[in-house]
Amino acid sequence: MKKLSARRRHPLAAVVVLLLALAATGGLYAAFAPADKAQAEETAQSLAIDEGKKLYSVGCSSCHGTGGQGGSDGPSLVGVGSAAVDFQVSTGRMPAQQPGAQVPKKKAIYSQAEIDQLSAYIASLGAGPVTPTEKQYNPEGADIGKGGELFRNNCAQCHNFTGQGGALTHGKYAPNLADVSPKHIYEAMQTGPQNMPSFPDTTMPEQQKRDIIGYLQSVNSEKADNPGGLTLGGLGPVSEGLFAWIFGLGALIGVAVWVAARTAKARKS
Amino acid sequence: MSTEETKTAPAADSGRKAPAGERVADWADGRLGIYGLAKANMRKIFPDHWSFMLGEICLYSFIIIILTGVYLTLFFHPSMNEVEYHGSYIPMQGQLVSEAFNSTMHISFDVRGGLLIRQIHHWAALIFVAAMLVHMMRVFFTGAFRKPREVNWVFGFLLLVLGMFTGFTGYSLPDDLLSGTGVRFMQGAILSVPVVGTYLSMFLFGGEFPGGDFVARFYSIHILLLPGIMLGLLVAHLILVFYHKHTQFAGPGKTNKNVVGMPLLPVYMAKAGGFFFLVFGVIAVVAAVASINPIWAIGPYRPDMVGTGAQPDWYMGFSEGLIRVMPGWEINLWGHTLVLGVFIPLIIFPLVLVSIAVYPFIESWVTGDKREHHILDRPRNAPTRTAFGVAWLTWYFVLLVGGGNDIWATHFNLSINAITWFVRIAFFVAPVLAFVATKRICLGLQRRDKDKVLHGRESGIIKRLPHGEFIEVHEPLSQEDLHTLTAHEQYEPVAIGATTDENGVERKVSASQKLRAKLSEGYYGEDNQIPKPTADEYKEITSGHGHH
């Protein structure tokens, strides 16, 4: 200590102290900087939740309650997860237009950014299915044959053999799945919207969901090829019967009238 | 014509060799006696009317079904052994399917022309049964079923019923999910029969459903048993048409004893031959344009799977409707269940069909008419019959609505429960309403005919009389039109007469006699038909000057 004390008035002492101070500051900065970054992310998340909460208060709270606890007009949203919000709001089903047997699909009124904020808020209320990433629902490389079998086993009862939709009780219905985006199909299976049962990963793993999406794209989308010609709605014998009566028998009766009208006339000579 | 005949005649007379065609015909005549047959039948006359060609549509579509069906049998394997699918349809790759399904997929994707032939076969079947129903309605509404054609009516009816079941067994053959559901439906109906139901089901399926037998069994029924019976009935039907000669609508020169029209050869041969190709063409176009029973989309049958919108082909749709709208009643007694919810529809199913089949016999009993009828009725001139027919069609259509209640619900945004209740009520009410409305319309049309006969046709010319009144000039009808509009006969209601004689002794009248008199009154009594104008009325009205 004496040595150090003796040199404290050395002309270079100030330089050494300055260097030490700089090193300490830099070291401290380096040590604390990541913590600062983490705090910034948390702020962004809480910002999204805050924004989502504002959107929620305006657009959703009248039915689902001010804190998402549900009410007489809408179910509790605690634990439904961001996937449910993304599905309901980006297919336009929510916010609902009017009460009825079932809330129909319509034009989405929130932007994707707003939907993400809403999702963040609802997700903050309780853990639930998370909005899937593209890797999860992309049907590329799916086993279409397996998907068809799974579809017939789990979905066709309500959605028809190729997902053309079907009737449920009291005006409810399973919608047509033609050209529904893979993300929405995935989310619907994950969350079970409205009358649909949910198929969580424990009962239907990700790969099987992808197979089903792949199957649907191959039989009920713009890309689907119909080797037999017009599918007549893919509804089966009812539309086929109607077609046979109107265009089959109708045309034949027309032909019969035409043939009968052209009768051989006795030639006068 | 006559000049052409004289031109060819000398060839036979002169020592010159006869043309090849004539020699072939001579050879055949010496062995088959075709000259006599040809002479009797070639000049057979058929009347001209488009509705008389409905039966031809049935005949030709039946021929088309047989032709395409034979092609399909060349490639179809009626077996329920399980195989893995490895054909050209990608979304089905690697699935376990029955051989029946596999071979149908093979026909659809790997056999040349297979899919088109399959679709022609199936579309022709739908059109065949539809044409039979329309043909039957034509016969019904024109009264063509009256003596001597009652037996032929029954033959035609049997053809319709057999056609329905042939269609049903054929629809079940590919062993796809849709048809498998239909077979399951039928098995359920069989099971609902008290006492023998389970035995019948075990017998038909060779054990528990679905077993491994039903495709092979349905196959023999579909390609051999039912079509064989149908072919026999069809020939009998046509022979009777020839034997009875064709009916015709009333008109000048047309009587109950003649047939006015064109000869079979050459006119009808050409027309019918051409019409066959037109029918084939229309069906081929329909089959080329529209898909039917796309089993690749529907998938193979597995008893643990089902799809919504599972319906039978349209001709079985009314049975589906009966089941769908029937409340699920059941009675449990001593450990046995009587499933009324299925058994009652199973009983009503044949009754719906039989109710129209027995009508000719009911009508002939009511009228007591034993004469032959070769002149057709216009539907309006038999209001009660027409009303019965429309009521039956309404009944049938209501059941079809019930059979497709889910499709109605999704496509018209309705509640399926509301549709079901509508059908339950309409099943009883709609035929009655249709009956009343049709009868009123028929009577209205009869009144209009009477008006036309007596006062002439509205000419559209408005005349102003000297005192300022406007009248429309009515043009009198031609003699031909007058005849056509007044040619129909009108029955008098059957009267029971006095039930007591002059001494006050009561005469016994059986209940059936009373019923008959009551029905007859309903058919032909006052206000149930409009008395047709008489010549006296006509003279009286037309003798007046210029009044209307």
Backbone torsion region of residue B337, taken as left when φ is above 0, otherwise alpha when ψ lies between -120 and 50, otherwise beta: beta
**Which residues of chain A lie closer than 8 angstroms to B418, CB-CB?**
171
Report the distance separating Cα A151 and Cα B307, nearest Å.
10
- Which of A230, A231, A236 comes nearest B309 by C-beta? A236
Which residue in the block uniquely carries the two structure tokens 């009561």? B506
In whole angstroms, what separates CA A136 from the centre of its chain?
12
* pLDDT-above-90 percentage for chain A: 26
Query: What residues of A are designated binding site for heme c?
Result: 60, 63-64, 155, 158-159
Please check whether the domain covering B47-304 is classified as CATH 1.20.140.10: no
In chain A the domains, ranked by start, together with CATH numbers, are 39-131 (1.10.760.10), 132-223 (1.10.760.10)
Q: Is the Cβ–Cβ distance between A103 and A175 less than 8 Å?
A: no
Report the distance separating Cα A59 and Cα A94, nearest Å.
9
Nearest CA in chain B to A155: B307
Tokens of A175: 């919608």
Q: Is the Cβ–Cβ distance between B405 and B324 less than 8 Å?
A: yes
**Which residues of chain B lie closer than 8 angstroms to A156, CB-CB?**
177, 305-308
B358: contact with A, CB 8 A cutoff: no
Which has the minimum average pLDDT: A30-44, A206-220, B257-271, B468-482? Answer: A30-44
- Domain ranges in chain B are 47-304, 453-495+509-543
B450: contact with A, CB 8 A cutoff: no
- Mean pLDDT calculated for residue range A120-140: 86
**Which residues of chain A lie closer than 8 angstroms to B308, CB-CB?**
156-160, 166-167, 174
Residue A265 confidence (pLDDT): 64
Decide if B416 and A159 are in contact by the 8 Å CB cutoff. Answer: no
CB within 8 Å of chain B, chain A residues 95-134: 101
Residue B15 confidence (pLDDT): 63
Q: How far is B529 from chain A (nearest CA, A)?
A: 31
Residue B9 confidence (pLDDT): 44
Decide if A244 and B130 are in contact by the 8 Å CB cutoff. Answer: yes
pLDDT higher than threshold 50 for residue A26: yes
Task: Using alpha carbons, select from B309, B21, B246 the residue that is nearest to residue A238.
Answer: B309
Query: What rounded mean pLDDT belongs to chain A?
Result: 86
DSSP line for B42-66: TT-EE---GGGGHHHHHHHHHHHHH
Residue B12 confidence (pLDDT): 46
Mean pLDDT by 10 residues, chain B (548 residues): 42 68 88 83 85 94 96 95 91 90 95 95 96 96 93 96 96 93 93 92 92 93 96 96 91 88 83 93 95 91 89 94 93 89 95 94 91 93 95 96 92 93 96 96 94 89 92 89 90 80 80 89 88 86 63
CB within 8 Å of chain B, chain A residues 19-58: none
* DSSP 3-state of A120: helix
Q: Is the Cβ–Cβ distance between B165 and B214 less than 8 Å?
A: no
Residue B431 confidence (pLDDT): 97
* Mode of pairing for the β-strands spanning A173-174 and A166-167: antiparallel
Q: How far is B95 from chain A (nearest CA, A)?
A: 6
Q: Is the Cβ–Cβ distance between B176 and B301 less than 8 Å?
A: yes
Measured CA distances, A245 to B76, B124, B158, B272 (Å)? 28, 11, 21, 22
Tokens of B97: 């399917």
Report the distance separating Cα B506 and Cα B501, nearest Å.
7
A145: contact with B, CB 8 A cutoff: yes
| Torsion from C-alpha of B310, B313, B314, B320, nearest 10 degrees | -50
Tokens of B387: 């009303």
Q: How far is A86 from chain B (nearest CA, A)?
A: 26
As for the ipTM of the complex, it is 0.89
Residue A267 confidence (pLDDT): 55
